[in-house]
Amino acid sequence: MESLDRRRTGSEQEEGFGVQSRRATDLGMVPNLRRSNSSLCKSRRFLCSFSSEKQENLSSWIPENIKKKECVYFVESSKLSDAGKVVCACGYTHEQHLEVAIKPHTFQGKEWDPKKHVQEMPTDAFGDIVFTDLSQKVGKYVRVSQDTPSSVIYQLMTQHWGLDVPNLLISVTGGAKNFNMKLRLKSIFRRGLVKVAQTTGAWIITGGSHTGVMKQVGEAVRDFSLSSSCKEGEVITIGVATWGTIHNREGLIHPMGGFPAEYMLDEEGQGNLTCLDSNHSHFILVDDGTHGQYGVEIPLRTKLEKFISEQTKERGGVAIKIPIVCVVLEGGPGTLHTIYNAINNGTPCVIVEGSGRVADVIAQVATLPVSEITISLIQQKLSIFFQEMFETFTENQIVEWTKKIQDIVRRRQLLTIFREGKDGQQDVDVAILQALLKASRSQDHFGHENWDHQLKLAVAWNRVDIARSEIFTDEWQWKPADLHPMMTAALISNKPEFVRLFLENGVRLKEFVTWDTLLCLYENLEPSCLFHSKLQKVLAEEQRLAYASATPRLHMHHVAQVLRELLGDSTQLLYPRPRYTDRPRLSMTVPHIKLNVQGVSLRSLYKRSTGHVTFTIDPVRDLLIWAVIQNHRELAGIIWAQSQDCTAAALACSKILKELSKEEEDTDSSEEMLALADEFEHRAVGVFTECYRKDEERAQKLLVRVSEAWGKTTCLQLALEAKDMKFVSHGGIQAFLTKVWWGQLCVDNGLWRIILCMLAFPLLFTGFISFREKRLQALCRPARVRAFFNAPVVIFHMNILSYFAFLCLFAYVLMVDFQPSPSWCEYLIYLWLFSLVCEETRQLFYDPDGCGLMKMASLYFSDFWNKLDVGAILLFIVGLTCRLIPATLYPGRIILSLDFIMFCLRLMHIFTISKTLGPKIIIVKRMMKDVFFFLFLLAVWVVSFGVAKQAILIHNESRVDWIFRGVVYHSYLTIFGQIPTYIDGVNFSMDQCSPNGTDPYKPKCPESDWTGQAPAFPEWLTVTLLCLYLLFANILLLNLLIAMFNYTFQEVQEHTDQIWKFQRHDLIEEYHGRPPAPPPLILLSHLQLLIKRIVLKIPAKRHKQLKNKLEKNEETALLSWELYLKENYLQNQQYQQKQRPEQKIQDISEKVDTMVDLLDMDQVKRSGSTDQRLASLEEQVTQVTRALHWIVTTLKDSGFGSGAGALTLAPQRAFDEPDAELSIRRKVEEPGDGYHVSARHLLYPNARIMRFPVPNEKVPWAAEFLIYDPPFYTAEKDVALTDPVGDTAEPLSKISYNVVDGPTDRRSFHGVYVVEYGFPLNPMGRTGLRGRGSLSWFGPNHTLQPVVTRWKRNQGGAICRKSVRKMLEVLVMKLPRSEHWALPGGSREPGEMLPRKLKRVLRQEFWVAFETLLMQGTEVYKGYVDDPRNTDNAWIETVAVSIHFQDQNDMELKRLEENLHTHDPKELTRDLKLSTEWQVVDRRIPLYANHKTILQKVASLFGAHF
């Protein structure tokens, strides 16, 4: 039991979870892994069937691809189980083994070996997990073998579990034993961790158990779930745990899958095992066939994290490799190893200071120079933070800790310390994201590539706050063209804050939007988008018409077809079908980064040939449409604010959204579309209000201006098409319509004046009527008459008088003068009606916009009053036909009489112009709908009562007309008080009825007795039915109808004015284009129109007063004026928003929160100030002590004083190092720390050998290091000219050191080196490994590094400069599988001058010439190279020679370039040949570190930029 506890302490409590990272490389094309975000209502339709199908797929796929491990050989162990039972060496009892394991045959008599005696079998534990008596949240789990490939697990998570590919991977590691954190720090950690996961779409990976840091993460997720809405999404928390250490795991075993499996969290009875944490969403349970062994999951978790970090996430057109970060809380030795591995693999780590143990040890020394991180300091820190375990630390462990912490701190760019309330850090999420950006910034990339990579990360995380504070700073000046790819990504991903940020930083939409960009955006519409489905229908229809096998590629004219359906046929196509020769080209360039959108590189969208051509009239409009059709509210608002023709744009967006909402099946989406449409209408009203206040005349010009950008339509037409009643009812628009209504007459003319002048037109020459134009004020001018009778108000009233005359004449003929042969009055009616028919025909064929006959017919018959006119005319024709036939004269008169009613109803339309009657007519129309639906309810009661009454009273009535009377007619009249005669038998009389129903004029008698004189039906029943009928029909239903009328009246009354003003336009437009003469005189106007259209071929044109095309200069000035006022409107909106009470309350709340945080920080700073002063005092005392110690030692060495009388100093007290963040002493560490670093890396390259840890202070051979016991390693090579392995001294006795030993030069540039026991010692000190490693010779291994440079020149041949300094280019080479470039040098064959690698990139005929160049070159460095292959007994020394070509026309330079091998990339992969390239010399050049040092010396030699 004791050993088990110790093992748990070492493995479980110290939780070593390895994390891996990836180098920042160019991002390649990735498959589109996005899952369609279908709406909730659509998904619910298939929820049940989908779930069952998904379970069946899992039940078949998981056992086939995922295995578990089982022990197949029982070997009794000396240890007993917790219950005192005999167990196998695997930890399981007899009962828990398979039958084949208890009765072994193959392995009889052998020792238990997990490699042989544990076999893989299909897993039997997977499915959904529910924690009993806890939250009802359903998680996922699976039991996997420790050898399961990471790709299979990743496929399970993304494809079968349905997890979205993460934008970030957060590996949380630390103490696996419960530990205490300060409440404030715990709160900050929980809030920040969940925030970064939720906002960036990250996965959090932990150990999954209900202890330690895993429990902290789980509780953070739980708190978030309780405080957030379902729309915010679930935080993905994945627990990777060991199957054999899980308590109550038996409940998870279901061979066909548990859907769900119930799990009991029992902390009290878990013993040495652990329980799963109920707040994790997914569990991967790693099985190695053993029980109770902790740490089994670590290798699989490490490989899984590494695999995920190598995957590419495509989001919104940007492909990035998934970044990974390690977050550390508390922890022990295992955690330190995890951090060390993470740092060495390039994974940034965030250490939470204050969480305890390892985290606090690293945080305390993180900002110290590496030279000051000594063994004694680490020992001191361990004694403070590991008080309970400190006694168990050995000297070797302390040395190892010191070495690892030195290596961790040395790479500060990957290390972030989160300190509560210091350096402005308030949230862990900011610290995590800053750590990733800091790590990205430190990687070797050229300037733009590095900043661009950081921006891609910020966009992927959707953290605009990080982008503002960390990326868009003064350190880098962004060019607008560089932001275009990320702008596309932000648009596709619907990240409006980033779009706003890019616009603020110089992106101009008119330059950004290109033909290819628009196509890219439309190709990346969400599949759930309604516009996407409409586009697919257009493409399918084109495919059907073309009889093509493949779906045609999307073009913008397809988009235009759908947009025309939405905007209406009054607009022209926004994107005409392009000709191939008209394809536009752009001259923008972007940096070399790979961004992919469904297989199309975004970079290719912007790299075009020269010559910028604008392919659309208004690119901002195109982006606005794209945002609106997807119902992206905030994005559409941002783009609309950039538009120029903003009023028309807002009205068009309103129209599009309202049309889409009609077809949208999802109710929520439809309501959102309508809300956004209202918002755009409100914007249009706001901008027009600003314009109207400023200048009424120019504002009215905006209404009727032909907008080329919106399909040659007008704002007024768009508002009418969209039925934007608020806009049309605006006072300015109504004033314009009134102006149109009065024509050239003054509006203040009284209506009685108009009527008098209509009856006596000579009054026009008396000044009785006033005109707007001065030229018409002169008397006795025919133009006054023309202007008067062409005014729509005059035409309207003349038509009213004409129509009243027509109705009077029609009534006179029907009632007084309807003769067998038509009279002259009747003939006049025929002529009058013929003129009405001609006018209706003119309206039908009137097409000033060229929409086509079908569209005009559709628009014509969409009006109710036109339908009524056509119906009345057709009925008149039927009546006239019957009237002209003598046999049907009377039916003809009846039909004409009914037709008269229809003509009278037409008067209601005429009254809509009246401000008093117009709204009431609208209310009547709405109430008619209520009556229609009410009749359905009434018919149920009428028919049911009528049939029951008729069946009870009358026996076998066969006359249909009397059945109808009894069932329907009498029942309907009963509602209005006419009680049936025989209902109660009181008025029973045989004289008033027909006993047998033979009299056609009398009803059949009801049931009577045998005498026939008394009724026999049950009177009580009929009376009861009558009372019930009257109760429901007369009281309930009629009062319901009254209530419906009242509700309709109240509802419509609020908007009646708007509706009337909206419908008023139709009447005004009708009479504005109507001929001035009333019927029947209008026939003369029709004859004139017939001659103009058919004979003279003059097309119809809309009057300029309703549609006016302005001159280019005038239109530009008008739009600029509108744009200026739009800015005023937006500013007013922002001001009003700030003045709202809700906003003020929110601002006050934020200020209070800020004040509370500042007070908390002030308290921390005050305590920190005290700590700072104490730390400063302690440091000064320490420095004085050291100085006195040096003085005393110097005096003693000089012979002053005796040993007895010498001053003695108290031993230096072990003070705690002050917090370096608060310390006034912040030293800058020099690269290299004065010792070799790479040569002491614990893991030797390309070998599974670990060096002995050597801290900085123990590197010199002179430093005492009694426990130093490095392993011996020498790689065997196939090359003949290498030293022996050297594991013994005898084979090395023939080697002569410090001289030229045959072909091998064993002399060191640093002088004579020491040879001890036949082995040379590295002159730079210990490395932690003996032997020659993978080098060829013991002692120095000489290499040559030629540095071939030339000046970087522009296209004109001038030398490029940066920060005044000239820029160099250097020749570098690279192996295809290597991530770094290198100088073209290396080791040489004995007796040869050129390195082997250089010979591989140069043609053989140029070797001699290059040797000459080397001899003429300048030596820039000669000495030791800090190489990871160095050992205690073998090391690399190099000579770096600079070969510089001053002139670009240098013949030797041209010969060099001609003799460089050029290789096909495919051949490079196959033959592993080297590739060469000229790269700009820069400090971020991706070069090996030791080569970069040489390159820096060359740049200094020429005074060039580095």
- How would residue 1466 be classed by pLDDT, with cut points 50, 70 and 90? very low
Helix 731-741, helix 792-815: angle, nearest 10: 70
Q: Which of 43-57, 233-247, 258-272, 695-709 is predicted least confidently?
A: 43-57
The tokens of 266 are what?
């029992």
pLDDT tens-digit readout, 1313-1340: 999 888 899 999 999 999 989 898 899 9
Residue 1162 banded pLDDT, cuts 50, 70, 90: low
* pLDDT tens digits, one per residue of 891-947: 999 999 999 999 998 888 877 777 777 777 878 888 888 888 888 888 888 888 888
Q: Tens digits of per-residue pLDDT, 580-631?
A: 444 443 333 333 333 333 333 444 444 433 333 344 568 899 999 999 999 9
The residue that leads in pLDDT, 1019 or 335, is 335
Question: Across residues 1413-1434, what is the average pLDDT?
Answer: 90
Decide which of 1292 and 263 is more confident. 263
Helix, strand, coil share of the chain (percent; to 5): 50, 10, 35
Could you write out the DSSP letters of every residue in 875-923? HHHHHHHHHHSGGGHHHHHHHHHHHHHHHHHTHHHHGGGSTTHHHHHHH
pLDDT mean over 1296-1310: 87
Average of pLDDT values for 328-350? Answer: 89
- pLDDT exceeds cutoff 70 at 498: yes
Q: Is the bond leading into 260 cis (omega within 30 degrees of zero)?
A: yes
Question: In which band, very low, low, confident or very high, does the pLDDT at 675 lie, cut at 50, 70 and 90?
Answer: very high
- The predicted-structure confidence for 12-60, as pLDDT tens digits, reads as follows 333 433 333 333 333 333 333 333 333 333 443 333 444 677 778 888 8
Q: Residue 385 corresponds to which amino acid? A: F
Share of the chain above pLDDT 70, in %: 84
The stretch 1034-1054 carries a mean pLDDT of: 83
For position 1473, what pLDDT does the model report?
60
pLDDT of residue 913: 74
Compute the mean pLDDT over every residue in the chain, rounded to the nearest whole number: 81
Look at residue 43 in the predicted model and tell me its pLDDT. Answer: 40
Rg (CA), the chain: 46
In the predicted model, is pLDDT for residue 422 greater than 80? no
Q: Which pLDDT does position 1104 carry in this prediction?
A: 61
DSSP 698-752: HHHHHHHB-BGGGTSB-HHHHHHHHT-HHHHTSHHHHHHHHHHHTTTB-TTS-HH
Q: How large is the average pLDDT for residues 1186-1196?
A: 79
CA dihedral 851, 855, 861, 862 (to 10 degrees): -90
The pLDDT of residue 1441 is: 92
pLDDT number for residue 592:
33
The predicted pLDDT at position 428 comes to 84
Most confident of 22-36, 210-224, 781-795, 1430-1444: 1430-1444
Looking at residue 1485, what is its pLDDT? 81
Three-state DSSP state, 1451: helix
pLDDT in tens, 160-187: 998 988 888 999 998 888 777 888 888 8
Mean pLDDT of 862-868: 84
Residue 1012's pLDDT band (cuts 50, 70, 90): low
Q: How confident is the model at residue 1018 (pLDDT cuts 50, 70, 90)?
A: confident
Tell the residue number behind the tokens 């910028």, with chain if given: 612
What's the pLDDT score for residue 1027? 86
Higher per-residue confidence, 234 vs 276: 276
The larger pLDDT score, comparing residue 1472 to residue 675, is at: 675
Q: Is the pLDDT of residue 478 over 80?
A: yes
Does the pTM surpass 0.85? The reply is: no
Q: Which of 110-114, 486-490, 1211-1215 shows the highest mean pLDDT?
A: 486-490
SS3 state at 365: helix
The string of DSSP codes covering 1372-1431 is EEE-TT-SSBB-S-EE--TT-SS-HHHHHHB-GGGHHHHHHHHHHSEEEEEEEE--TT--
Among left, alpha and beta (phi > 0; psi -120 to 50; other), residue 1233 is: left
Q: What is the mean pLDDT of residues 767-777?
A: 75
Return the structure tokens found at 291.
């029980």
List of residues 6+ apart from 310 with CB closer than 8 A: 22, 321, 322
User: Which is more confidently placed, 1376 or 1226?
Assistant: 1376
Ranking 583-592, 767-776, 1350-1359, 1404-1413 by mean pLDDT, the lowest is: 583-592
Mean pLDDT across the stretch 472-480? 78
SS3 1148: helix
Residue 400 CA, distance from chain mean position: 46
Q: Determine which of 154-163, 526-535, 573-582, 999-1008 has the lowest per-residue pLDDT on average.
A: 573-582
- Specify the DSSP element, H or E, that contains 1301: strand 1300-1301
Report whether the peptide linkage leading into residue 1080 is cis, meaning its omega lies within 30 degrees of zero.
yes
Could you say which DSSP state residue 318 is in?
Answer: E
| pLDDT tens sequence across 968-1003 | 888 888 888 777 776 766 666 777 788 777 788 888
d(CA 492, CA 525): 8
* Whether pLDDT at 656 is above 90: yes
- pLDDT tens digits for 1092-1107? 877 777 776 656 667 8
What span, in angstroms and rounded, lies between the C-alpha atoms of 252 and 235? 23
